[in-house]
C-alpha cells in the first residue's frame, strides 16, 4: 500500500522516556498476538485443540508453567539490574543505544510469532517479499537506480562490510578469470589493465557471456587463486577492527590493508589517499578498493565521499580504477534528511525551505551550525559507490540486530552467488534461495518485518526518517553547545570541558581537563575516572544520573591526528609522544526527545549538577 503520510509526530513513535505510550504499545502488541492466535484457530477449524482443558489442569502442566514463571522472574530481574537507561530523555550520552521505534519492536514480535526464515522463499513468502522491498527502499535512499540496484538485510555492519569486501575481491578478480576463460573479451589488455577495469566494464562483459558465467566464476578469486594480485584495500587510519577482521577472513590478509591518515577532523585525507594510490601504482600494485566511512564509530565523522569519487574519475584517465565501498553502518539513514517527498536529492539552496516545510530542526541556527557543503556533497556522492553498508539497528532506530548492504548494480550478485539445485524453482524476481546470494544463511523474517514496518511508518525521506535524523542531529548540537566553554569548580580547582571537534553528525566527543594541567597522562586519568563514574563500572547503572561512554585515541590507530586537539588544550608535542594516547569521552546523541529546547534545558541543569557531583567524587577519591 502507498500511505498518505501525515505530519509525523515523533512522540507517537516511541514507548516514551517514562513509558508514556504504554497503552498504545499494548494495544498494538495485543492486536498482533490476537490476530496470530485467531489465525492458528481458524486454520482448518475442524481440527480440535491438542492441548485440552484436562492437560492444562494437570499437575505437570501447572508445575511447568510455574517453573517458567520463576525463570521469567529471574530474567526480568537481571534485565532491570544490568541494562542501560538509554530511555531517559536527557541523562544518557553514551554508547550507541537509544529508544527504538515502537512499530519496529511490535512488528518484530508479530512476525516472530510466524517465525519465517528468509533464507528461502518457501519458508517465508510474506517476510521474503518484505526483505526484497526493504532492500530496494534502502537502495533508493542511496539514490541507486530503481530496477538496477539491490539490497538485503544482514546480521550487522561487520557482516555487511565483509560482504562488501567479498564483492570487491571477487569483482576485481573477474577480468583475470575472463582472460582465462573468454580471452577474446579482454583482448590486448595487460594484467595492469585487467586489474584496473571499471565495475561497469566488467559487468558488461559478464552480461555478454551468460554461457561462460559459471566457468568464469570458477576461475575468479573464489577458486582461491590470484588473491595476491588484487592489490591493496585502503581504509581510514582509524581503522575499525572490523575491517582488519574482514581482510583476515576474506583471505587477502592484513598485509593487503593500507591505512590512509585522517586529518585533524578525523576524515580520511584525500591528498594522502591520492599519494598512496600513486605510490602503489608506481610499484605496479593495484587498488582493490577504497573504504569511505559515513559516520565513524568513534567520532561520527563523515569522509569526503565526493572527493573519493572525484579522485577515482581523475585517476581513471590515467588507467587506475578502484572499487568504492561506503561504510555507512552508522550514518546511512541520515541520507533520508536530504531526500524530498519524491525521494529526490534536495538542491543545496532548497534545503532550508524543505526543512521548514517538514519541521526538521526546531532551531535553524543549529542546522546552520551543522550542515556544510562538504557534508552535503559527501552524502550526495554515496550513489557513486559500488556498495554501501547501512545498519537499520543504528540510525534506523530498529532493535538489534539488523544490518544491511546495498549494491549499485544488481548484476554484481553474479560475482558472489551460488546456485543450489532448488534455487530457480520460483523463477521470480525474488531469489528462491536468498542464502545463495548473500553471506549468511538462515535469517529471521521478523527482522525484515520490523524494518519494513518502520519504513512504512517513516518513509526514507524528509517526511519520515528525515525528521528523526534532524531531531538527533539537533540534540547533538544542543549537547555540543552545552559542553563548549563549560567550567566546573571542584574543590578550588577549575575543570574545563572541551569538545573534540565540530560533529559532522550526531556524535559528540569531549574531554575534561583541569585548568593549568599540562600533564596529558593526568588528563587521561581524569577522563577515564569520569567514565568509570558515569557507567556500569562504579556500581548501579540504575541510580546513575549521567551516563557516558569513552574511547582511547592511541598512536597505533590514530597516528598524530589527535595532536592538533591535544595541543589546543595546551599540551606539548613531547607530552603527546609521552602519553601516546588521549582518552576521550563519547556521546552518541540518539535521544528522540533532547532536540526540544525546553526538554534539553531542563536536563542540562540536571546533568550539569550530576557531572559536578561526579567530579567532586573523583577529586575527593584522589585526595584520599
The residues facing 234 across adjacent strands are: 258, 290
Please count the residues of this chain forming the interface with a second copy, following the rule CB under 8 A: 178
CA 292, CA 307: separation in Å to the nearest integer? Answer: 10
Asked whether position 604 contacts a second copy by CB under 8 A, the answer is no
Residues 280, 231 contacting (CB under 8 angstroms): yes
Residues 295, 263 contacting (CB under 8 angstroms): no
Asked whether position 33 contacts a second copy by CB under 8 A, the answer is yes
- Which CB atom, from 10 or from 305, has the smaller least distance to a second copy? 10
Catalytic residue selected from 241, 418, 422, 536:
422
Least CB distance from residue 532 to a second copy, whole Å? 9
Of the residues 175, 286, 289, 399, which one makes contact with a second copy according to CB under 8 A: 399
Asked whether position 396 contacts a second copy by CB under 8 A, the answer is no
Q: Which of residues 252-291 bind a second copy (CB under 8 A)?
A: 252-256
Residue 545: closest CA among 480, 619, 608:
608
Asked whether position 401 contacts a second copy by CB under 8 A, the answer is yes
Asked whether position 244 contacts a second copy by CB under 8 A, the answer is yes
Q: Which of residues 527-566 bind a second copy (CB under 8 A)?
A: 535-536, 541-542, 545, 549-552, 554, 556-557
Least CB distance from residue 69 to a second copy, whole Å? 7
Q: What is the DSSP secondary-structure string of 109-160?
A: HHHHHHT-BTTBGGG-HHHHHHHHHHHHHHHHHTTPPTTT-EEEEES-HHHH
Exposure string over 468-482, b if 16+ CB within 10 A, otherwise e: bbbbbbbbbbbbbbb
Q: Which of residues 42-101 bind a second copy (CB under 8 A)?
A: 43-44, 47-51, 55-56, 58, 60-61, 63-72, 74-76, 78-89, 91, 95-97, 100
Dihedral (C-alpha) 201, 320, 386, 437: value to the nearest 10 degrees? 60
CA 622, CA 532: separation in Å to the nearest integer? Answer: 14
In angstroms, the Cα distances linking 439 to 58, 115, 287, 382, 484 are 47, 21, 23, 23, 44
Q: Which three cell numbers, joined as nine digits, stand for 511?
A: 574531554
The residues facing 494 across adjacent strands are: 489
Least CB distance from residue 545 to a second copy, whole Å? 6
Q: Which three cell numbers, joined as nine digits, stand for 75?
A: 530474567
Q: Which three cell numbers, joined as nine digits, stand for 307?
A: 572527493
- Which CB atom, from 57 or from 342, has the smaller least distance to a second copy? 57
Least CB distance from residue 295 to a second copy, whole Å? 14
Q: Return the number of other C-beta atoms located less than 10 Å from residue 391's C-beta.
A: 28
Which H/E stretch holds residue 104?
A: helix 102-114
Least CB distance from residue 442 to a second copy, whole Å? 4
Of the residues 185, 189, 225, 411, which one makes contact with a second copy according to CB under 8 A: 225
Of the residues 185, 189, 222, 538, which one makes contact with a second copy according to CB under 8 A: 222
Of the residues 171, 177, 186, 457, which one makes contact with a second copy according to CB under 8 A: 457
Asked whether position 445 contacts a second copy by CB under 8 A, the answer is yes
- Which CB atom, from 218 or from 275, has the smaller least distance to a second copy? 218
Least CB distance from residue 318 to a second copy, whole Å? 27
- Supply φ then ψ for residue 615, to 5 degrees: -60, -40
Least CB distance from residue 599 to a second copy, whole Å? 5
- Supply φ then ψ for residue 144, to 5 degrees: -70, 150
400 is catalytic: no
Asked whether position 570 contacts a second copy by CB under 8 A, the answer is no
Question: Mind telling me the catalytic residues?
Answer: 422
Amino acid at each position: 500500500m502507498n500511505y498518505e503520510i501525515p505530519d509525523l509526530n515523533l512522540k507517537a513513535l516511541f514507548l516514551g522516556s517514562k513509558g508514556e505510550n504504554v497503552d498504545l504499545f499494548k494495544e498494538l502488541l495485543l492486536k498482533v498476538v490476537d490476530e496470530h492466535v485467531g489465525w492458528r484457530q481458524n486454520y482448518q477449524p475442524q481440527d480440535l485443540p491438542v492441548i485440552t482443558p484436562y492437560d492444562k489442569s494437570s499437575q505437570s502442566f501447572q508445575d511447568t508453567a510455574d517453573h517458567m514463571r520463576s525463570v521469567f522472574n529471574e530474567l526480568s530481574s537481571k534485565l532491570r539490574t544490568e541494562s542501560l537507561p538509554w530511555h531517559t530523555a536527557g541523562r544518557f550520552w553514551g554508547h550507541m543505544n537509544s529508544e527504538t521505534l515502537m512499530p519496529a519492536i511490535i512488528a518484530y514480535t508479530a512476525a516472530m510469532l510466524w517465525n519465517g526464515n528468509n533464507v528461502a522463499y518457501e519458508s517465508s513468502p510474506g517476510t521474503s517479499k518484505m526483505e526484497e522491498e526493504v532492500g530496494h527502499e534502502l537502495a533508493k535512499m542511496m539514490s541507486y537506480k530503481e530496477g538496477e540496484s539491490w539490497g538485503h538485510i544482514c546480521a550487522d555492519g561487520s557482516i555487511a562490510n565483509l560482504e562488501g569486501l567479498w564483492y570487491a575481491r571477487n569483482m576485481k578478480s573477474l577480468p583475470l578469470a575472463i582472460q582465462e576463460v573468454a580471452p577474446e573479451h579482454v583482448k590486448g589488455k595487460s594484467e595492469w589493465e585487467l586489474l584496473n577495469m571499471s565495475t561497469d566494464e566488467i559487468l558488461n562483459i559478464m552480461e555478454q557471456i551468460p554461457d561462460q558465467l559459471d566457468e568464469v566464476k570458477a576461475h575468479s578469486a573464489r577458486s582461491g587463486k590470484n588473491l595476491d594480485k588484487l592489490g591493496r584495500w585502503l581504509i581510514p587510519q582509524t581503522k575499525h577492527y572490523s575491517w582488519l577482521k574482514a581482510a583476515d577472513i576474506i583471505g587477502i590478509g592484513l598485509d593487503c590493508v593500507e591505512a590512509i591518515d585522517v586529518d585533524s577532523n578525523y576524515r580520511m585525507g584525500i591528498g594522502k589517499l591520492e599519494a598512496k594510490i600513486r605510490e602503489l601504482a608506481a610499484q605496479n600494485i593495484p587498488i582493490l578498493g577504497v573504504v569511505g566511512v559515513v559516520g565513524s564509530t568513534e567520532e561520527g565523522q563523515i569522509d569526503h565521499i565526493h572527493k573519493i569519487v572525484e579522485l577515482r574519475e581523475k585517476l581513471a584517465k590515467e588507467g587506475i580504477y578502484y572499487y568504492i565501498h561506503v561504510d555507512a553502518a552508522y550514518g546511512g539513514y541520515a541520507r533520508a534528511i536530504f531526500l524530498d517527498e519524491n525521494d529526490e536529492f534536495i538542491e543545496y539552496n532548497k534545503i532550508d525551505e524543505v526543512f521548514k516545510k517538514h519541521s526538521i530542526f526546531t532551531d535553524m541556527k543549529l542546522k546552520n551550525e551543522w550542515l556544510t557543503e562538504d557534508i552535503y556533497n559527501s552524502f550526495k556522492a554515496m550513489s557513486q559507490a559500488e556498495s554501501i553498508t547501512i545498519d537499520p539497528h543504528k540510525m534506523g532506530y530498529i532493535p538489534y540486530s539488523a544490518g544491511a548492504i546495498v549494491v549499485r548494480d544488481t548484476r554484481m550478485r553474479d560475482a558472489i552467488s551460488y546456485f543450489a539445485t532448488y534455487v530457480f524453482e520460483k523463477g521470480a524476481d525474488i531469489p528462491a534461495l536468498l542464502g545463495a546470494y548473500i553471506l549468511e544463511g538462515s535469517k529471521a523474517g521478523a527482522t525484515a518485518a520490523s524494518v519494513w514496518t518502520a519504513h512504512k511508518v517513516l518513509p526514507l525521506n524528509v517526511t519520515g526518517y528525515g525528521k528523526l535524523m534532524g531531531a538527533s542531529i539537533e540534540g547533538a548540537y544542543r549537547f555540543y553547545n552545552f559542553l563548549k566553554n563549560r567550567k566546573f569548580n571542584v574543590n578550588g580547582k577549575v575543570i574545563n570541558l572541551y569538545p573534540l571537534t565540530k560533529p559532522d553528525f550526531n556524535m559528540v566527543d569531549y574531554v575534561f581537563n583541569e585548568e593549568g594541567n599540562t600533564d596529558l597522562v593526568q588528563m587521561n586519568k581524569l577522563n577515564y575516572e569520569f567514565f568509570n563514574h558515569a557507567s556500569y563500572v562504579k556500581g548501579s547503572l540504575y541510580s546513575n544520573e549521567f551516563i557516558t561512554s569513552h574511547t582511547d585515541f592511541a598512536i597505533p590507530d590514530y597516528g598524530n591526528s589527535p595532536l592538533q586537539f591535544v595541543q589546543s588544550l595546551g599540551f606539548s608535542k613531547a607530552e603527546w609522544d609521552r602519553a601516546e594516547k588521549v582518552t576521550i569521552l563519547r556521546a552518541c546523541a540518539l535521544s528522540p526527545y533532547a532536540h526540544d529546547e525546553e526538554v534539553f534545558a531542563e536536563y542540562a541543569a540536571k546533568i550539569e549538577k550530576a557531572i559536578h557531583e561526579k567530579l567532586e567524587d573523583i577529586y575527593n577519591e584522589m585526595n584520599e
